[in-house]
């Protein structure tokens, strides 16, 4: 593939959405590079979040969406396909990941903004974001990055009242990770789902592990308590 350091490692994967496997409502193609560790691979959490966006498409149609740590960006691409106004973001220093997003947008003839957004770092473009939905697939994998990630998530939730962070994660430890983070950051979990409870069987059969989806919002009661103290 032109402009790619390792053409032999690039593949295009096709992802179908819709109830009818034979006649999907639409499909999205993603360019992956198997040599890359993180941002150029479609992680299972991304398949789960993309399917959730499709199933919840009426909420996303016409809404403003920011995807954090988007990598190959499948959930954001599905949101754009169902009519959302989408900004795809990833670490500002990962130029190859941001370039790949632009190639994938061209491939699918979709229009989204592409922006470098490193968790825990702020610039003028971060302040201009007012998403109704913040998406993050497999962004909870490195405990040393949780504080930076949740600093950004909490800022975006505050910058856009009524907004929600929807994240899918692989709960490898089995610990109550989400509950711990909610208390620490003054957030509340509106919904916590096992991925297998809503994935269609033809997609679920290829997934392994404890994959969860959480919808998270600011906890106004916790915030008030903090102010009163």
Ligand X SMILES: C[S@@+](CC[C@H](N)C(=O)[O-])C[C@H]1O[C@@H](n2cnc3c(N)ncnc32)[C@H](O)[C@@H]1O
In the complex, which residues of this chain contact ligand X (CB under 6 A)?
A: 38-39, 42-43, 45-46, 69-72, 90-91, 94, 97, 118-119, 137-139, 141, 145, 148
| Chain centroid, CA 140 distance in Å | 11
Shortest separation between residue 141's beta carbon and ligand X, angstroms = 5
46 or 163: CB nearest ligand X: 46
Cα-atom radius of gyration of the chain, to the nearest Å? 17
- Pick 163 or 168: Cβ nearer ligand X: 168
Closest to ligand X by CB, 38 vs 198, is 38
Phi, psi of 101 (to 5 degrees): -60, -45
Nearer to ligand X, 17 or 43 (CB): 43
Which residues on adjacent β-strands are paired with residue 64? 85
User: 120, 149 in Cβ contact below 8 A?
Assistant: yes
Q: Where are the alpha helices (DSSP H) in the chain?
A: 44-55, 57-60, 74-81, 95-108, 124-127, 146-159, 177-185, 201-204, 220-228
Cβ-based nearer residue to ligand X, 41 or 198: 41
Closest separation in Å from C-beta 38 to ligand X: 4
User: Do 213 and 195 meet the contact criterion of CB atoms below 8 Å apart?
Assistant: yes
Using DSSP, state whether 222 is helix, strand or coil: helix
**Identity of the residue, 38 or 155, whose beta carbon is nearer to ligand X in the bound complex:** 38
Q: How far is the CB of 154 from ligand X (least distance, A)?
A: 15
Helices 44-55, 74-81: inter-axial angle, 10-degree rounding? 20
- Pick the closest to residue 102 from 45, 30, 47 (CA basis): 30
The nearest distance, CB 172 to ligand X, in angstroms, is 12
């Amino acid at each position: 593939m032109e402009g790619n350091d390792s053409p032999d490692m690039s593949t295009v994967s096709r992802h179908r959405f819709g109830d009818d496997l034979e006649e999907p409502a639409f499909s999205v193609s993603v360019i992956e590079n198997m040599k890359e560790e993180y941002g150029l691979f479609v992680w299972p959490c991304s398949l789960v979040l993309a399917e959730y966006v499709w199933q919840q498409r009426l909420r996303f149609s016409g809404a403003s969406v920011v995807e954090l740590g988007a990598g190959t960006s499948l959930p954001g691409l599905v949101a754009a396909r169902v009519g959302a106004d989408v900004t795809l973001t990833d670490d500002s220093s990962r130029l190859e990941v941001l370039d790949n997003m632009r190639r994938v947008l061209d491939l699918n003839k979709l229009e989204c903004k592409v922006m470098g957004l490193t968790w825990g770092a702020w610039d003028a473009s971060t302040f201009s974001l007012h998403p109704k939905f913040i998406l993050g697939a497999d962004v909870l994998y490195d405990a040393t990055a949780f504080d930076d990630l949740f600093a950004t998530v909490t800022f975006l939730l505050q910058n856009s009242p009524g907004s929600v962070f929807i994240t899918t994660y692989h709960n490898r430890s089995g610990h109550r990770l989400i509950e711990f983070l909610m208390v620490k950051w003054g957030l509340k979990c509106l919904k916590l789902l096992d991925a297998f409870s809503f994935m269609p069987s033809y997609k679920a059969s290829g997934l392994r592990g404890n994959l969860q989806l959480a919808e998270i919002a600011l906890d106004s009661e916790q915030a008030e308590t903090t102010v009163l103290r």
